[in-house]
Structure 1
Protein backbone atom coordinates (compact mmCIF):
# COMPACT_ATOMS: atom_id res chain seq x y z
CA UNK A 1 0.00 0.00 0.00
CA UNK A 2 1.39 3.39 -0.95
CA UNK A 3 0.52 6.45 1.06
CA UNK A 4 0.36 9.98 -0.20
CA UNK A 5 3.66 10.67 1.55
CA UNK A 6 5.28 7.73 -0.29
CA UNK A 7 4.19 9.29 -3.57
CA UNK A 8 5.60 12.67 -2.54
CA UNK A 9 8.97 11.07 -1.75
CA UNK A 10 9.01 9.35 -5.13
CA UNK A 11 8.08 12.64 -6.75
CA UNK A 12 11.01 14.23 -4.96
CA UNK A 13 13.40 11.51 -6.12
CA UNK A 14 12.13 11.45 -9.69
CA UNK A 15 11.71 15.16 -10.32
CA UNK A 16 14.00 16.86 -7.85
CA UNK A 17 17.78 16.58 -8.11
CA UNK A 18 17.64 14.65 -11.36
CA UNK A 19 15.65 17.32 -13.14
CA UNK A 20 17.93 19.95 -11.64
CA UNK A 21 20.93 18.26 -13.24
CA UNK A 22 19.11 18.19 -16.58
CA UNK A 23 18.29 21.87 -16.27
CA UNK A 24 21.86 23.16 -16.42
CA UNK A 25 21.18 24.66 -19.84
CA UNK A 26 18.66 26.96 -18.13
CA UNK A 27 21.40 28.55 -16.06
CA UNK A 28 22.64 28.20 -12.46
CA UNK A 29 19.86 30.37 -11.00
CA UNK A 30 17.21 27.88 -12.16
CA UNK A 31 19.12 25.03 -10.52
CA UNK A 32 19.61 26.95 -7.28
CA UNK A 33 15.92 27.84 -7.13
CA UNK A 34 14.98 24.22 -7.70
CA UNK A 35 17.42 23.05 -5.04
CA UNK A 36 16.00 25.56 -2.61
CA UNK A 37 12.48 24.41 -3.41
CA UNK A 38 13.41 20.76 -2.92
CA UNK A 39 15.13 21.61 0.36
CA UNK A 40 11.96 23.35 1.51
CA UNK A 41 9.90 20.26 0.59
CA UNK A 42 12.35 18.05 2.44
CA UNK A 43 12.11 20.15 5.58
CA UNK A 44 8.31 20.14 5.29
CA UNK A 45 8.23 16.35 5.50
CA UNK A 46 11.11 15.83 7.90
CA UNK A 47 10.36 18.50 10.51
CA UNK A 48 7.35 16.72 12.07
CA UNK A 49 9.33 13.47 12.20
CA UNK A 50 12.33 15.18 13.77
CA UNK A 51 10.12 16.86 16.34
CA UNK A 52 8.36 13.58 17.08
CA UNK A 53 11.53 11.56 17.68
CA UNK A 54 13.44 14.31 19.41
CA UNK A 55 10.51 14.83 21.75
CA UNK A 56 11.31 11.55 23.51
CA UNK A 57 14.87 12.54 24.31
CA UNK A 58 14.41 16.26 24.91
CA UNK A 59 11.04 16.63 26.56
CA UNK A 60 12.42 15.68 29.97
CA UNK A 61 15.23 18.22 29.79
CA UNK A 62 13.76 21.16 27.89
CA UNK A 63 12.24 23.64 30.30
CA UNK A 64 8.83 25.14 29.51
CA UNK A 65 8.87 28.35 27.51
CA UNK A 66 12.04 27.50 25.55
CA UNK A 67 12.23 27.78 21.78
CA UNK A 68 12.13 23.99 21.49
CA UNK A 69 8.92 23.74 23.48
CA UNK A 70 7.35 26.60 21.55
CA UNK A 71 8.17 24.99 18.19
CA UNK A 72 6.82 21.62 19.33
CA UNK A 73 3.60 23.24 20.52
CA UNK A 74 3.21 25.09 17.23
CA UNK A 75 3.71 21.86 15.28
CA UNK A 76 1.24 20.00 17.48
CA UNK A 77 -1.37 22.74 17.24
CA UNK A 78 -1.61 22.08 13.51
CA UNK A 79 -2.21 18.33 13.65
CA UNK A 80 -5.46 16.62 14.54
CA UNK A 81 -5.69 13.31 16.39
CA UNK A 82 -6.57 11.10 13.44
CA UNK A 83 -6.09 7.40 14.07
CA UNK A 84 -4.87 4.88 11.49
CA UNK A 85 -4.34 1.14 11.93
CA UNK A 86 -0.84 -0.22 12.12
CA UNK A 87 -0.51 -3.30 9.95
CA UNK A 88 2.07 -4.77 12.31
CA UNK A 89 0.21 -4.89 15.61
CA UNK A 90 -3.16 -3.21 14.96
CA UNK A 91 -2.31 -0.50 17.47
CA UNK A 92 -3.42 3.02 16.73
CA UNK A 93 -1.01 5.59 15.36
CA UNK A 94 -1.66 9.10 16.67
CA UNK A 95 -0.35 11.95 14.55
CA UNK A 96 -0.59 14.32 17.52
CA UNK A 97 -2.84 15.22 20.45
CA UNK A 98 -6.05 17.04 19.59
CA UNK A 99 -5.79 20.82 19.85
CA UNK A 100 -7.55 23.15 22.23
CA UNK A 101 -10.95 24.51 21.24
CA UNK A 102 -9.49 27.82 20.06
CA UNK A 103 -7.72 26.00 17.19
CA UNK A 104 -10.93 24.36 15.99
CA UNK A 105 -10.64 25.78 12.49
CA UNK A 106 -7.11 24.42 12.16
CA UNK A 107 -8.36 21.03 13.35
CA UNK A 108 -11.00 20.88 10.66
CA UNK A 109 -8.70 22.12 7.90
CA UNK A 110 -6.08 19.54 8.84
CA UNK A 111 -8.67 16.77 9.18
CA UNK A 112 -9.98 17.55 5.70
CA UNK A 113 -6.46 17.71 4.31
CA UNK A 114 -5.45 14.38 5.81
CA UNK A 115 -8.63 12.62 4.73
CA UNK A 116 -8.14 13.74 1.12
CA UNK A 117 -4.50 12.66 1.13
CA UNK A 118 -5.08 9.15 2.47
CA UNK A 119 -7.93 7.79 0.42
CA UNK A 120 -6.04 4.53 -0.06
CA UNK A 121 -5.86 3.85 3.71
CA UNK A 122 -8.69 1.90 5.32
CA UNK A 123 -9.49 3.39 8.71
CA UNK A 124 -10.75 0.54 10.88
CA UNK A 125 -9.54 1.00 14.41
CA UNK A 126 -10.36 4.04 16.49
CA UNK A 127 -9.61 4.23 20.18
CA UNK A 128 -13.02 4.46 21.77
CA UNK A 129 -11.96 4.87 25.38
CA UNK A 130 -13.13 8.37 26.37
CA UNK A 131 -9.90 9.33 28.14
CA UNK A 132 -8.50 9.95 24.65
CA UNK A 133 -10.89 12.87 24.16
CA UNK A 134 -11.88 16.05 25.95
CA UNK A 135 -14.96 18.25 26.11
CA UNK A 136 -15.19 21.42 24.07
CA UNK A 137 -18.70 22.23 25.30
CA UNK A 138 -19.65 20.89 28.70
CA UNK A 139 -22.31 21.20 31.40
CA UNK A 140 -20.38 19.84 34.39
CA UNK A 141 -22.79 21.18 37.01
CA UNK A 142 -25.99 20.13 35.28
CA UNK A 143 -26.65 17.20 37.59
CA UNK A 144 -26.65 19.31 40.72
CA UNK A 145 -30.43 19.13 40.20
CA UNK A 146 -30.17 15.41 41.10
CA UNK A 147 -32.17 14.06 38.19
CA UNK A 148 -33.84 10.69 38.47
CA UNK A 149 -33.44 10.08 34.72
CA UNK A 150 -30.97 11.52 32.21
CA UNK A 151 -31.72 11.28 28.48
CA UNK A 152 -28.53 11.40 26.37
CA UNK A 153 -29.08 12.11 22.68
CA UNK A 154 -26.21 11.63 20.19
CA UNK A 155 -26.87 13.96 17.27
CA UNK A 156 -24.95 15.42 14.33
CA UNK A 157 -23.79 19.02 14.80
CA UNK A 158 -25.85 20.34 11.88
CA UNK A 159 -29.11 18.72 13.00
CA UNK A 160 -30.50 21.79 14.76
CA UNK A 161 -34.03 21.00 13.60
CA UNK A 162 -33.92 17.59 15.29
CA UNK A 163 -32.68 19.10 18.55
CA UNK A 164 -35.34 21.79 18.51
CA UNK A 165 -38.07 19.24 17.82
CA UNK A 166 -36.94 17.23 20.85
CA UNK A 167 -36.73 20.39 22.97
CA UNK A 168 -40.35 21.16 22.16
CA UNK A 169 -41.63 17.60 22.75
CA UNK A 170 -40.32 14.83 25.01
CA UNK A 171 -37.09 16.70 25.80
CA UNK A 172 -39.15 19.48 27.36
CA UNK A 173 -40.54 17.29 30.12
CA UNK A 174 -38.47 18.08 33.20
CA UNK A 175 -40.77 16.28 35.66
CA UNK A 176 -42.59 13.03 34.96
CA UNK A 177 -44.65 11.28 37.64
CA UNK A 178 -42.92 13.44 40.23
CA UNK A 179 -39.39 12.50 39.10
CA UNK A 180 -36.83 14.94 37.67
CA UNK A 181 -35.78 14.30 34.07
CA UNK A 182 -32.99 15.97 32.10
CA UNK A 183 -32.17 15.86 28.38
CA UNK A 184 -28.72 16.54 26.91
CA UNK A 185 -27.35 16.38 23.36
CA UNK A 186 -23.86 15.20 22.41
CA UNK A 187 -22.09 16.28 19.21
CA UNK A 188 -18.58 15.87 17.86
CA UNK A 189 -16.47 18.19 15.75
CA UNK A 190 -18.15 19.91 12.82
CA UNK A 191 -16.73 19.38 9.35
CA UNK A 192 -16.71 21.09 5.98
CA UNK A 193 -15.60 24.44 4.65
CA UNK A 194 -17.94 26.38 6.93
CA UNK A 195 -16.85 24.58 10.11
CA UNK A 196 -15.86 27.78 11.91
CA UNK A 197 -19.31 29.30 11.37
CA UNK A 198 -20.98 26.02 12.37
CA UNK A 199 -18.93 25.92 15.56
CA UNK A 200 -19.95 29.47 16.43
CA UNK A 201 -23.59 28.51 15.93
CA UNK A 202 -23.16 25.52 18.23
CA UNK A 203 -21.64 27.70 20.91
CA UNK A 204 -24.52 30.17 20.63
CA UNK A 205 -27.01 27.30 20.83
CA UNK A 206 -25.21 26.06 23.93
CA UNK A 207 -25.46 29.48 25.57
CA UNK A 208 -29.15 29.68 24.72
CA UNK A 209 -30.25 26.23 25.87
CA UNK A 210 -27.54 24.93 28.20
CA UNK A 211 -28.04 21.34 26.99
CA UNK A 212 -25.19 20.78 24.51
CA UNK A 213 -22.11 18.65 25.08
CA UNK A 214 -19.32 18.52 22.51
CA UNK A 215 -16.21 16.38 22.41
CA UNK A 216 -13.20 16.54 20.09
CA UNK A 217 -13.79 13.43 17.96
CA UNK A 218 -14.79 13.83 14.32
CA UNK A 219 -18.56 13.46 14.16
CA UNK A 220 -19.26 10.63 11.71
CA UNK A 221 -21.22 7.41 11.45
CA UNK A 222 -18.02 5.41 11.83
CA UNK A 223 -17.29 7.16 15.13
CA UNK A 224 -20.59 6.32 16.84
CA UNK A 225 -18.77 3.97 19.19
CA UNK A 226 -16.58 6.85 20.34
CA UNK A 227 -19.67 9.02 20.69
CA UNK A 228 -21.42 6.46 22.86
CA UNK A 229 -18.39 5.94 25.07
CA UNK A 230 -18.10 9.71 25.61
CA UNK A 231 -21.75 9.65 26.69
CA UNK A 232 -20.92 6.91 29.19
CA UNK A 233 -17.93 8.91 30.42
CA UNK A 234 -20.04 12.03 30.98
CA UNK A 235 -22.63 10.08 32.96
CA UNK A 236 -19.94 8.39 35.05
CA UNK A 237 -17.96 11.54 35.82
CA UNK A 238 -20.54 14.35 35.74
CA UNK A 239 -23.76 12.65 36.80
CA UNK A 240 -23.20 9.57 38.98
CA UNK A 241 -26.07 10.58 41.28
CA UNK A 242 -28.78 9.92 38.66
CA UNK A 243 -30.82 6.73 39.10
CA UNK A 244 -31.28 5.86 35.42
CA UNK A 245 -30.04 7.02 32.04
CA UNK A 246 -31.12 6.41 28.49
CA UNK A 247 -29.20 6.65 25.26
CA UNK A 248 -31.81 7.62 22.67
CA UNK A 249 -31.28 8.60 19.04
CA UNK A 250 -32.39 11.97 17.71
CA UNK A 251 -34.99 10.54 15.29
CA UNK A 252 -37.00 8.80 18.02
CA UNK A 253 -40.43 9.26 19.52
CA UNK A 254 -40.24 8.76 23.29
CA UNK A 255 -43.28 8.28 25.50
CA UNK A 256 -42.06 9.65 28.80
CA UNK A 257 -45.04 8.43 30.85
CA UNK A 258 -44.58 4.84 29.76
CA UNK A 259 -40.82 5.00 30.29
CA UNK A 260 -41.22 6.35 33.79
CA UNK A 261 -43.84 3.72 34.62
CA UNK A 262 -41.30 1.06 33.63
CA UNK A 263 -38.52 2.59 35.75
CA UNK A 264 -40.72 3.06 38.82
CA UNK A 265 -42.10 -0.47 38.72
CA UNK A 266 -41.17 -2.35 41.93
CA UNK A 267 -39.59 -5.22 39.99
CA UNK A 268 -37.27 -2.96 37.95
CA UNK A 269 -33.70 -3.33 39.28
CA UNK A 270 -31.84 -0.19 40.35
CA UNK A 271 -28.41 -1.69 39.61
CA UNK A 272 -26.81 -3.75 36.81
CA UNK A 273 -29.88 -3.21 34.65
CA UNK A 274 -30.11 -2.44 30.95
CA UNK A 275 -33.12 -2.95 28.72
CA UNK A 276 -34.59 -2.02 25.37
CA UNK A 277 -35.06 -3.86 22.09
CA UNK A 278 -32.96 -6.98 22.71
CA UNK A 279 -30.84 -8.43 19.90
CA UNK A 280 -29.99 -12.13 20.30
CA UNK A 281 -27.57 -14.15 18.14
CA UNK A 282 -27.04 -11.40 15.60
CA UNK A 283 -24.46 -12.36 12.95
CA UNK A 284 -21.51 -10.05 12.29
CA UNK A 285 -21.75 -8.50 8.81
CA UNK A 286 -18.67 -9.44 6.77
CA UNK A 287 -19.79 -7.85 3.50
CA UNK A 288 -17.31 -5.05 2.86
CA UNK A 289 -19.92 -3.10 0.90
CA UNK A 290 -22.22 -2.86 3.91
CA UNK A 291 -22.25 0.14 6.26
CA UNK A 292 -22.36 -2.41 9.11
CA UNK A 293 -19.23 -4.25 7.96
CA UNK A 294 -16.85 -5.34 10.72
CA UNK A 295 -13.64 -7.19 9.92
CA UNK A 296 -12.60 -10.40 11.65
CA UNK A 297 -9.53 -8.53 12.87
CA UNK A 298 -11.71 -6.17 14.89
CA UNK A 299 -14.28 -8.73 16.02
CA UNK A 300 -13.37 -12.35 15.28
CA UNK A 301 -16.53 -14.05 16.59
CA UNK A 302 -19.23 -14.85 14.00
CA UNK A 303 -22.03 -13.50 16.24
CA UNK A 304 -22.34 -10.54 18.57
CA UNK A 305 -23.09 -10.95 22.25
CA UNK A 306 -26.64 -10.09 23.28
CA UNK A 307 -27.09 -6.34 23.01
CA UNK A 308 -29.75 -3.61 22.88
CA UNK A 309 -30.62 -1.93 19.59
CA UNK A 310 -28.98 1.49 19.58
CA UNK A 311 -32.15 3.45 18.77
CA UNK A 312 -32.91 3.66 22.48
CA UNK A 313 -31.88 1.65 25.54
CA UNK A 314 -32.28 2.51 29.20
CA UNK A 315 -29.95 1.47 32.02
CA UNK A 316 -29.31 1.91 35.71
CA UNK A 317 -26.79 4.67 36.18
CA UNK A 318 -24.22 2.48 37.92
CA UNK A 319 -23.44 0.93 34.52
CA UNK A 320 -21.68 3.82 32.72
CA UNK A 321 -18.60 3.65 34.94
CA UNK A 322 -18.45 -0.13 34.56
CA UNK A 323 -18.83 0.11 30.77
CA UNK A 324 -16.07 2.71 30.56
CA UNK A 325 -13.77 0.46 32.60
CA UNK A 326 -14.64 -2.55 30.43
CA UNK A 327 -13.80 -0.57 27.30
CA UNK A 328 -10.17 -0.59 28.40
CA UNK A 329 -10.17 -4.34 27.79
CA UNK A 330 -12.55 -4.68 24.83
CA UNK A 331 -11.13 -3.79 21.43
CA UNK A 332 -13.43 -1.18 19.88
CA UNK A 333 -15.32 -1.78 16.67
CA UNK A 334 -17.67 0.46 14.75
CA UNK A 335 -21.08 -1.03 15.66
CA UNK A 336 -21.75 1.02 18.76
CA UNK A 337 -24.69 -0.86 20.24
CA UNK A 338 -23.02 -4.25 19.78
CA UNK A 339 -19.84 -2.82 21.31
CA UNK A 340 -21.77 -1.70 24.39
CA UNK A 341 -23.17 -5.25 24.48
CA UNK A 342 -19.63 -6.62 24.47
CA UNK A 343 -18.68 -4.34 27.37
CA UNK A 344 -21.80 -5.30 29.31
CA UNK A 345 -20.98 -8.98 28.79
CA UNK A 346 -17.42 -8.35 30.01
CA UNK A 347 -18.85 -6.86 33.21
CA UNK A 348 -20.91 -10.04 33.68
CA UNK A 349 -24.35 -8.50 33.08
CA UNK A 350 -27.04 -9.87 30.80
CA UNK A 351 -29.39 -7.38 29.09
CA UNK A 352 -32.97 -7.70 30.29
CA UNK A 353 -36.06 -7.99 28.15
CA UNK A 354 -38.56 -5.26 29.04
CA UNK A 355 -41.78 -6.39 30.75
CA UNK A 356 -43.59 -5.62 27.49
CA UNK A 357 -41.14 -6.01 24.57
CA UNK A 358 -43.67 -4.47 22.16
CA UNK A 359 -43.07 -1.09 23.82
CA UNK A 360 -39.64 -0.82 22.15
CA UNK A 361 -40.47 -0.80 18.45
CA UNK A 362 -38.36 -0.09 15.42
CA UNK A 363 -41.28 1.13 13.29
CA UNK A 364 -45.01 1.38 13.85
CA UNK A 365 -46.10 1.84 10.26
CA UNK A 366 -49.15 3.96 9.50
CA UNK A 367 -49.90 6.40 12.27
CA UNK A 368 -52.42 5.33 14.88
CA UNK A 369 -52.71 7.39 18.02
CA UNK A 370 -53.38 4.36 20.23
CA UNK A 371 -50.07 2.79 19.13
CA UNK A 372 -48.09 5.83 20.26
CA UNK A 373 -49.99 5.90 23.54
CA UNK A 374 -48.79 2.34 24.21
CA UNK A 375 -45.11 2.31 23.16
CA UNK A 376 -42.04 3.65 24.93
CA UNK A 377 -39.99 4.43 21.84
CA UNK A 378 -40.07 4.06 18.06
CA UNK A 379 -38.29 5.51 15.02
CA UNK A 380 -39.80 8.45 13.13
CA UNK A 381 -39.16 9.91 9.73
CA UNK A 382 -38.54 13.59 10.47
CA UNK A 383 -38.45 16.24 13.21
CA UNK A 384 -41.74 17.66 11.97
CA UNK A 385 -43.38 14.24 12.29
CA UNK A 386 -42.26 14.13 15.92
CA UNK A 387 -43.86 17.51 16.57
CA UNK A 388 -47.12 16.56 14.83
CA UNK A 389 -47.43 13.19 16.57
CA UNK A 390 -46.55 14.67 19.95
CA UNK A 391 -49.27 17.29 19.64
CA UNK A 392 -51.83 14.66 18.70
CA UNK A 393 -50.79 12.26 21.47
CA UNK A 394 -50.94 15.04 24.06
CA UNK A 395 -54.27 16.50 22.96
CA UNK A 396 -57.16 16.22 25.46
CA UNK A 397 -59.50 13.32 24.82
Structure 2
Protein backbone atom coordinates (compact mmCIF):
# COMPACT_ATOMS: atom_id res chain seq x y z
CA UNK A 1 0.00 0.00 0.00
CA UNK A 2 0.84 3.67 -0.03
CA UNK A 3 3.20 4.88 2.70
CA UNK A 4 1.80 7.27 5.31
CA UNK A 5 4.23 10.06 4.38
CA UNK A 6 3.33 9.71 0.70
CA UNK A 7 -0.37 9.77 1.55
CA UNK A 8 0.02 13.04 3.50
CA UNK A 9 1.94 14.60 0.60
CA UNK A 10 -0.75 13.48 -1.81
CA UNK A 11 -3.50 15.00 0.34
CA UNK A 12 -1.55 18.24 0.78
CA UNK A 13 -0.25 18.86 -2.74
CA UNK A 14 -2.69 16.85 -4.90
CA UNK A 15 0.13 16.00 -7.33
CA UNK A 16 0.33 12.21 -7.12
CA UNK A 17 -1.50 10.05 -9.65
CA UNK A 18 -2.19 6.44 -8.65
CA UNK A 19 -3.39 3.56 -10.77
CA UNK A 20 -3.90 -0.12 -10.02
CA UNK A 21 -0.99 -1.92 -11.71
CA UNK A 22 2.50 -3.13 -10.82
CA UNK A 23 5.21 -0.55 -11.52
CA UNK A 24 7.53 -2.87 -13.46
CA UNK A 25 9.63 -2.54 -16.61
CA UNK A 26 7.10 -4.60 -18.61
CA UNK A 27 4.36 -2.14 -17.61
CA UNK A 28 6.14 0.99 -18.93
CA UNK A 29 3.77 1.13 -21.91
CA UNK A 30 0.76 0.93 -19.62
CA UNK A 31 2.22 3.65 -17.41
CA UNK A 32 2.77 5.90 -20.45
CA UNK A 33 -0.75 5.32 -21.79
CA UNK A 34 -2.30 5.97 -18.35
CA UNK A 35 -0.31 9.21 -18.17
CA UNK A 36 -1.53 10.26 -21.61
CA UNK A 37 -5.11 9.43 -20.68
CA UNK A 38 -4.84 11.40 -17.43
CA UNK A 39 -3.49 14.44 -19.29
CA UNK A 40 -6.27 14.39 -21.89
CA UNK A 41 -8.93 14.03 -19.18
CA UNK A 42 -7.65 16.51 -16.57
CA UNK A 43 -5.37 18.87 -18.53
CA UNK A 44 -6.95 19.16 -21.99
CA UNK A 45 -5.65 22.73 -22.30
CA UNK A 46 -1.99 21.67 -21.93
CA UNK A 47 0.06 22.82 -24.89
CA UNK A 48 3.15 20.70 -24.24
CA UNK A 49 3.79 17.40 -22.51
CA UNK A 50 7.16 15.99 -21.45
CA UNK A 51 7.42 12.32 -20.55
CA UNK A 52 10.56 11.58 -18.56
CA UNK A 53 11.84 9.41 -15.73
CA UNK A 54 13.07 10.34 -12.26
CA UNK A 55 16.65 9.39 -13.18
CA UNK A 56 16.78 11.66 -16.24
CA UNK A 57 18.59 14.98 -16.43
CA UNK A 58 16.42 17.33 -18.50
CA UNK A 59 17.73 20.69 -19.67
CA UNK A 60 14.33 22.40 -19.82
CA UNK A 61 15.78 25.75 -20.89
CA UNK A 62 17.45 24.22 -23.93
CA UNK A 63 14.34 22.16 -24.66
CA UNK A 64 12.29 25.36 -24.92
CA UNK A 65 14.99 27.22 -26.84
CA UNK A 66 15.77 24.42 -29.31
CA UNK A 67 12.41 22.75 -29.91
CA UNK A 68 9.55 24.92 -28.79
CA UNK A 69 11.21 28.16 -29.94
CA UNK A 70 8.65 30.72 -28.73
CA UNK A 71 9.91 33.20 -31.37
CA UNK A 72 9.19 30.84 -34.26
CA UNK A 73 6.11 29.15 -35.64
CA UNK A 74 4.36 27.18 -32.85
CA UNK A 75 4.57 23.45 -33.47
CA UNK A 76 1.28 21.58 -33.83
CA UNK A 77 0.88 17.84 -33.15
CA UNK A 78 4.66 17.60 -32.78
CA UNK A 79 6.23 14.57 -31.12
CA UNK A 80 9.95 13.99 -30.87
CA UNK A 81 12.61 12.48 -28.66
CA UNK A 82 15.02 9.56 -28.91
CA UNK A 83 13.35 7.66 -31.74
CA UNK A 84 13.82 3.91 -31.97
CA UNK A 85 14.46 2.22 -35.33
CA UNK A 86 11.42 0.99 -37.25
CA UNK A 87 9.86 -1.90 -35.32
CA UNK A 88 6.59 -1.91 -37.24
CA UNK A 89 6.24 -5.69 -37.05
CA UNK A 90 6.19 -5.70 -33.21
CA UNK A 91 2.60 -5.31 -32.03
CA UNK A 92 3.12 -6.61 -28.48
CA UNK A 93 1.20 -4.41 -26.02
CA UNK A 94 4.06 -4.80 -23.50
CA UNK A 95 6.63 -3.07 -25.78
CA UNK A 96 7.09 0.66 -26.09
CA UNK A 97 6.47 0.42 -29.89
CA UNK A 98 2.75 -0.04 -29.01
CA UNK A 99 2.55 3.67 -28.07
CA UNK A 100 3.86 4.48 -31.55
CA UNK A 101 1.07 2.37 -33.06
CA UNK A 102 -1.49 4.28 -30.99
CA UNK A 103 -0.03 7.59 -32.15
CA UNK A 104 -0.11 6.40 -35.77
CA UNK A 105 -3.88 5.77 -35.39
CA UNK A 106 -4.18 9.42 -34.29
CA UNK A 107 -2.11 10.44 -37.34
CA UNK A 108 0.68 11.78 -35.13
CA UNK A 109 4.02 10.85 -36.64
CA UNK A 110 7.11 11.22 -34.41
CA UNK A 111 9.63 13.56 -35.99
CA UNK A 112 13.38 13.19 -35.55
CA UNK A 113 14.88 15.91 -33.36
CA UNK A 114 16.89 18.63 -35.13
CA UNK A 115 20.06 17.06 -33.72
CA UNK A 116 20.43 13.35 -32.92
CA UNK A 117 22.52 14.13 -29.80
CA UNK A 118 19.74 16.11 -28.06
CA UNK A 119 17.99 13.14 -26.43
CA UNK A 120 20.14 10.44 -24.84
CA UNK A 121 18.80 7.27 -23.22
CA UNK A 122 22.27 6.62 -21.78
CA UNK A 123 24.40 8.54 -19.30
CA UNK A 124 26.44 11.25 -21.03
CA UNK A 125 29.58 12.26 -19.08
CA UNK A 126 28.91 15.68 -17.54
CA UNK A 127 30.47 18.94 -18.65
CA UNK A 128 28.69 22.30 -18.71
CA UNK A 129 29.74 22.67 -22.36
CA UNK A 130 28.20 19.37 -23.42
CA UNK A 131 25.08 19.69 -21.24
CA UNK A 132 24.31 23.22 -22.44
CA UNK A 133 23.58 21.67 -25.87
CA UNK A 134 21.60 18.56 -24.97
CA UNK A 135 18.08 18.04 -23.70
CA UNK A 136 18.29 14.75 -21.80
CA UNK A 137 20.70 12.25 -20.33
CA UNK A 138 19.84 9.11 -18.38
CA UNK A 139 20.91 7.25 -15.25
CA UNK A 140 21.33 9.80 -12.47
CA UNK A 141 20.80 9.93 -8.73
CA UNK A 142 18.58 12.90 -7.70
CA UNK A 143 21.53 14.60 -5.98
CA UNK A 144 23.55 14.44 -9.20
CA UNK A 145 20.71 16.00 -11.17
CA UNK A 146 20.54 18.91 -8.71
CA UNK A 147 24.33 19.31 -8.67
CA UNK A 148 24.63 19.30 -12.47
CA UNK A 149 21.67 21.65 -12.92
CA UNK A 150 23.15 24.15 -10.44
CA UNK A 151 26.56 23.93 -12.14
CA UNK A 152 24.97 24.39 -15.57
CA UNK A 153 23.01 27.42 -14.35
CA UNK A 154 26.08 29.05 -12.81
CA UNK A 155 28.02 28.59 -16.07
CA UNK A 156 25.24 29.19 -18.58
CA UNK A 157 26.60 32.48 -19.94
CA UNK A 158 29.89 30.84 -20.92
CA UNK A 159 29.49 27.05 -20.54
CA UNK A 160 32.40 26.12 -22.79
CA UNK A 161 35.10 28.33 -21.31
CA UNK A 162 38.26 26.51 -20.40
CA UNK A 163 40.10 27.31 -17.23
CA UNK A 164 43.81 27.22 -17.06
What's the counterpart of residue 115 of structure 2? 356
What's the counterpart of residue 161 of structure 2? none
CA deviation string 1:300-338 (max 9, x = no partner): x2xx4xxxxxxxxxxxxxxxxxxxxxxxxxx76112x31
Residue 85 of structure 2 corresponds to residue 280 of structure 1: yes
Runs in 1 of length 4+ with deviation above 4 angstroms?
Answer: none
Q: CA deviation at 1:373?
A: 1.0
Question: Where do 5+ consecutive residues of structure 2 fail to align?
Answer: 158-164
What's the counterpart of residue 223 of structure 1? 27
Q: CA deviation at 1:269?
A: 2.0
Q: CA deviation at 1:364?
A: 4.9
Q: CA deviation at 1:220?
A: 2.1
Cα distance change of structure 1 residues 220 and 361 upon mapping to structure 2, 3 Å threshold: closer
What's the counterpart of residue 132 of structure 2? 373
TM-score by length of 2: 0.81
Q: Does structure 2 conserve the Cα–Cα contact (< 8 Å) formed by 1:380 and 1:386?
A: no
The count of aligned residue pairs is 154
Q: CA deviation at 1:248?
A: 0.8
Question: Where do 5+ consecutive residues of structure 1 fail to align?
Answer: 1-194, 284-300, 305-330
Counterpart Cα distance in 1 of 2:123 and 2:27: 28
Greater helix content:
1
Q: Does structure 1 conserve the Cα–Cα contact (< 8 Å) formed by 2:63 and 2:135?
A: yes
* Among 45, 48, 63, the residue aligned to 1:259: 63
Q: CA deviation at 1:259?
A: 1.2
Greater strand content:
1
Q: Does structure 1 conserve the Cα–Cα contact (< 8 Å) formed by 2:80 and 2:113?
A: yes
Residue 87 of structure 2 corresponds to residue 334 of structure 1: no
Counterpart Cα distance in 1 of 2:124 and 2:69: 29
CA deviation string 1:183-238 (max 9, x = no partner): xxxxxxxxxxxx3xx43232112134432111122322222222111101111110
Matches within 5 A, 1:282-361: 282=87, 301=89, 304=90, 333-335=93-95, 337-361=96-120
CA deviation string 1:10-58 (max 9, x = no partner): xxxxxxxxxxxxxxxxxxxxxxxxxxxxxxxxxxxxxxxxxxxxxxxxx
Q: Does structure 2 conserve the Cα–Cα contact (< 8 Å) formed by 1:362 and 1:378?
A: yes
TM-score by length of 1: 0.36
* Among 40, 48, 69, the residue aligned to 1:244: 48
Q: CA deviation at 1:358?
A: 1.6
Q: CA deviation at 1:351?
A: 0.8
